[in-house]
Amino acid sequence: GQNIDQPTEMTATEGAIVQINCTYQTSGFNGLFWYQQHAGEAPTFLSYNVLDGLEEKGRFSSFLSRSKGYSYLLLKELQMKDSASYLCAAFYNDYKLSFGAGTTVTVRA
Amino acid sequence: ETGVTQTPRHLVMGMTNKKSLKCEQHLGHNAMYWYKQSAKKPLELMFVYSLEERVENNSVPSRFSPECPNSSHLFLHLHTLQPEDSALYLCASSQVRGANEKLFFGSGTQLSVL
């Protein structure tokens, strides 16, 4: 599979902003997914980027740069319920969806 | 509630046991997947079914045997597993197998092999 790199852990304070970076291999790349997974629960879809730029959905935004093989997920106005693992996944031409190992975000009061 | 239900949620089995994991989706999707999730590792795709036909098998050992009797149900039959097979097994579905199709995951079966 393709290597997808994202930080293992991040900690931030309630109300703050956190940016989770993700890098991927660009050869055969189609699009970039972000999923959220709370402990003991199913991963749930957050966003899908195909074109360069920033897409905003409420407190969460996702950015993609196809030429740099780079994406980030921006979480604003952090709430305790945002404590979860965030999975970056890149989709490639051969129907391959490669996941990163996930970034565990801990929100402190 | 994602529309994908997995049972059991937890399973402990010995290396000589035979057990099955069950997945059911209520979304009318045509593609279903089995993933393995180990701690601190990326999700590993095991099997893909599209319109009830297995279209992908990622070099998974034969001790794992999938079955898709219809578009709503997916099973993973387990036999003579090894301790390193202990992991969270996630089922997922999508409308079709394609590039921009988001996956809907079940909550997984936490498997421990003793």
pLDDT digits (tens, 9 = 90+) for A94-106: 888 999 999 999 9
B100 to A50: CB separation less than 8 angstroms, yes or no: yes
Report whether pLDDT(A13) > 90.
yes
pLDDT at B51: 87
Report whether pLDDT(B99) > 70.
no
A32 chain-B contacts, CB cut-off 8 A: none
pLDDT digits (tens, 9 = 90+) for A50-86: 999 999 999 999 999 999 999 999 999 999 999 999 9
Q: Searching chain A, which residue's CA lies closest to the CA of residue B10? A: A40
B42 to A99: CB separation less than 8 angstroms, yes or no: yes
Report whether pLDDT(A2) > 80.
no
Chain A within 8 Å of B102 (Cβ-Cβ)? Answer: yes
Mean per-residue pLDDT for A19-36?
96
pLDDT at B112: 96
Q: Are B111 and B89 in contact (CB under 8 A)?
A: yes
What the block records as the tokens of B20 is 């099955």
Distance CA B54, CA A74 (A): 37
Q: Searching chain A, which residue's CA lies closest to the CA of residue B104? A: A44
Residues in Cβ contact with B114 at an 8 Å cutoff, skipping those fewer than 6 apart: B12, B13, B14, B15, B83
A31 to B40: CB separation less than 8 angstroms, yes or no: no
Report whether pLDDT(B18) > 60.
yes
Angle formed at CA B42 by CA B39 and CA B44, multiple of 5 degrees: 105
What residues of chain B, 53 to 92, have a C-beta less than 8 Å from chain A? 56, 90
Substitution target from A9, A29, A97, A103 for chain B, most B beta carbons within 10 A: A97
Confidence grade of residue B57 (pLDDT, cut at 50, 70, 90): confident
Confidence grade of residue B98 (pLDDT, cut at 50, 70, 90): confident
Length of chain A counted residue by residue: 109
B/e letters for B5-38, b = 16+ CB within 10 Å, e = fewer, are ebeeeebebeeeeebebbbbbeeebbbbbbbbbe
For B54, the 3-state DSSP assignment is strand
Secondary structure letter of residue B83 according to DSSP: G
Q: Searching chain B, which residue's CA lies closest to the CA of residue A38? A: B107
A98 to B108: CB separation less than 8 angstroms, yes or no: no
Report whether pLDDT(B55) > 90.
no
pLDDT at A1: 52
pLDDT at B54: 87
A33 to B102: CB separation less than 8 angstroms, yes or no: yes
pLDDT at A95: 83
Chain B within 8 Å of A106 (Cβ-Cβ)? Answer: no
Substitution target from A6, A95, A98 for chain B, most B beta carbons within 10 A: A95
pLDDT at B56: 80
A50 chain-B contacts, CB cut-off 8 A: 100
Residues in Cβ contact with B46 at an 8 Å cutoff, skipping those fewer than 6 apart: B33, B34, B35, B36, B57, B58, B60, B64, B66, B76
